[in-house]
Structure 1
């Protein structure tokens, strides 16, 4: 007798999560594949007592032939790779699942590629089937294993290991478990929380930033008892060593919960839900939990505190005396040049940021006078240091971000505005990774009044302000002179973008000035919606741009490409020596 249901396991390995996202770096792919091979794959292969199920794994097809071949080889007899670079949607799995499944009911289960399931999870999911019209199933009890090998208890309601039971409807594609974000599953269907032993394991690692250890340290034997995985963990910590580790974790949890009360309420709600035993939570779209309310309060409070700190800093910079002075270098030499760079820099440190100092050296080597405008709060020191010829460092109050530094320079030394060429740049760039010949060539090759290295089409077409050039005294003419004279403090970097970065392009266009960009989307082969310095940074480097944006090395959203950026920077720096 055939089973009344089909069961599929669904995994997003390297799915494209937003339009025009760059392909993941190969180093990141193999890093992720290591966890897949050590944890996810063996745990799925070792399932016991379950009816047959099919495993579909979604991967970005913009990868090397070698990586693709390795995945295909791993998949033989275990899973079916689905290759695509279409942006992931809630119904992405619907069509491939519909083609493979014909039973009256469908069970779909999700697992992340770096996590693991207990040996009986799939059988336990199937045991919950009772011909439900539509119902999510969750096992809230699991563990977390970090890179040190420590094992923590983890209770999560509506966890990332959800399953969905649904009755198939003729002529309609299935919903699948990805019909909703796991934490919001009850907006789509009722949710059954099932009391059971440890049923899943999350692996905590450097690029898995959404997970934190939010539970107590437990004896590692649970991993050997409930999982068949090759992932290394600390199986020998027992007795006094375990007690000391548990005490240390309690201290970390106390600090975490004090700093993030929402994590405390999440842990409490999950523990209470687990202690209730098996129970069903009704479908209820948009109903906030206690954790939702606490986290919203936490976000609002942090926003108010951030704005409060910013306002206090602004007032301090406006009221307290800050000696605007030349800190280093020969200012007269800089101002005597026809081609001048004004470099906006900020740091909490007592010295100019290293990347800004290297950029100043690069521009000076290219024949420019360089004025580094260092923004500091009144209580911050800024020490004098030796700078190359043609470079001067001046201090100003810390207000209005980069546009404030540029406006300060133009207001304090008005002769700058009439120069043959004025370059405005900032310390958001890492580099230069070689001579600036190509940047200078592209600036000089343009006859436009205003030049930018790149432009962005989001939210509207505008010149990006990290590297701008103004020709033949255009900054001294009323439209741009008045624009920079009107720069005022704003509340956030986002406000800077909307008020001044977008505003600059509006002023340029309204005044009928000619504008141009150094590197275009067409030249780099990028869709027009891509943010070029972030989305195609490697192509920019190959095309002669000797800088990369620092956020590629610091932003958690760029973890998949960070190793490649660092490697590229090392290679280019070595080649430049």
Structure 2
């Protein structure tokens, strides 16, 4: 894991003028017709959500809180979000929770679904609390409600992890990555950063360390309102959290920094991105590294995950995604396939 080096988002943000405006992001990776179609979808979603959120505000809420089997160790708290259309909690998710616990975190498991009794009982093995809630507000709504439950029942943490099941794996050890985060001192740390919407840390795994950063994260979560718009939730939740941290003077850094990943792009990877990338560096465009540069991350950077959406839907119609299983041991690929079957619509 010698490639790991925390890249500060402050430096990336200061270099952001080199990147194209976000409005042109879609044009970088889609045809003009597909871009216009997507833009119209977002506009409709925002417009309808704005009206409905005003007329009938979403009411999130916790429906059940249950003890887990692990006693609290204090200090390090993880809020882990689960959702699946079937309600099932896969073996891969149970293993992710066990790994986070093994890295020293008291895990609060939050489900936006309705898990069957046997799965709900099984997830207790490596958790301190289990929370079942209404499926509103997506990840950040769940983390907000889970944080409120945790603060009422557990010691106030000195480091706070936000994690979810939107990633497949890990198929490489997580402990060295967590150690690298912790070696960075205080601040907000993630796995990957993105320029889309402005420089920010991607929220499938985020660690706030130190009283100031933890307080900032908790305040951010507490102030979020649920919306029917995914786009607005990402803007206010994920992108807004990094902006708030930077504004308040906290260090924000990624282990697999955007510049480092782009620097590892070779001619083969560049061609796979499309003709717009043939004549210049990929950082000119605000790409999503866990989608557009997924193979570079996994093959060259030692990244331990694949995004679930990439494997299930491949929204960018990227090449070679179907060959994802070739990049990991067969046992890991089988675990991921089982997870994808479990979360499928029943």
1:421 is matched with 159
Question: Alpha-carbon deviation of 1:468?
Answer: 0.5
Equivalent pairs, count: 277
* Cα 1:480/1:388, change in 2 over 3 Å: closer
1:566 is matched with 325
**Are 2:298 and 2:327, in contact at CA under 8 Å, matched by a contact in 1?**
no
Correspondence for 2:65 among 320, 325, 347 = 325
* Cα 1:354/1:574, change in 2 over 3 Å: closer
Correspondence for 1:444 among 151, 176, 182 = 182
Q: Distance in 2 between matches of 1:329 and 1:480?
A: 24
1:171 is matched with none
1:431 aligns with 2:169: yes
**Are 1:453 and 1:464, in contact at CA under 8 Å, matched by a contact in 2?**
yes
1:454 is matched with 192
RMSD: 3.7
Q: Distance in 1 between matches of 2:334 and 2:312?
A: 24
Correspondence for 1:375 among 78, 91, 112 = 112
Q: Deviations over 1:291-310 (max 9, x none)?
A: xxxx9xxx89x969x869x8
Q: Distance in 2 between matches of 1:355 and 1:575?
A: 10
Structure 1 segment 236-315 matched on structure 2, within 5 A: none
2:297 is matched with 540
**Are 2:168 and 2:307, in contact at CA under 8 Å, matched by a contact in 1?**
yes
**Are 1:454 and 1:520, in contact at CA under 8 Å, matched by a contact in 2?**
yes
**Are 2:192 and 2:289, in contact at CA under 8 Å, matched by a contact in 1?**
yes
TM-score by length of 1: 0.42
Of structures 1 and 2, the one scoring higher in RCO (CA 8 A, sep 6+) is 2
1:289 is matched with none
> Which structure dedicates a bigger proportion of its chain to helix?
2
1:435 is paired with a residue whose SS is coil
Q: Deviations over 1:281-325 (max 9, x none)?
A: xxxxxxxxxxxxxx9xxx89x969x869x87xx87855xx96322
Unmatched 5+ stretches in structure 2: 1-25, 266-281, 336-346
* Cα 1:425/1:512, change in 2 over 3 Å: same
**Are 1:439 and 1:544, in contact at CA under 8 Å, matched by a contact in 2?**
no
1:560 is paired with a residue whose SS is coil
Question: Alpha-carbon deviation of 1:382?
Answer: 4.3
**Are 1:317 and 1:398, in contact at CA under 8 Å, matched by a contact in 2?**
no
Question: Alpha-carbon deviation of 1:490?
Answer: 1.1
1:465 aligns with 2:223: no
Question: Alpha-carbon deviation of 1:424?
Answer: 0.5
Q: Distance in 2 between matches of 1:558 and 1:442?
A: 33
1:518 is paired with a residue whose SS is strand
TM-score by length of 2: 0.67
Unmatched 5+ stretches in structure 1: 1-16, 22-86, 90-180, 182-209, 211-294
Q: Distance in 2 between matches of 1:88 and 1:381?
A: 40
* Cα 1:381/1:370, change in 2 over 3 Å: closer
Q: Deviations over 1:449-473 (max 9, x none)?
A: 1111111111211121111001123
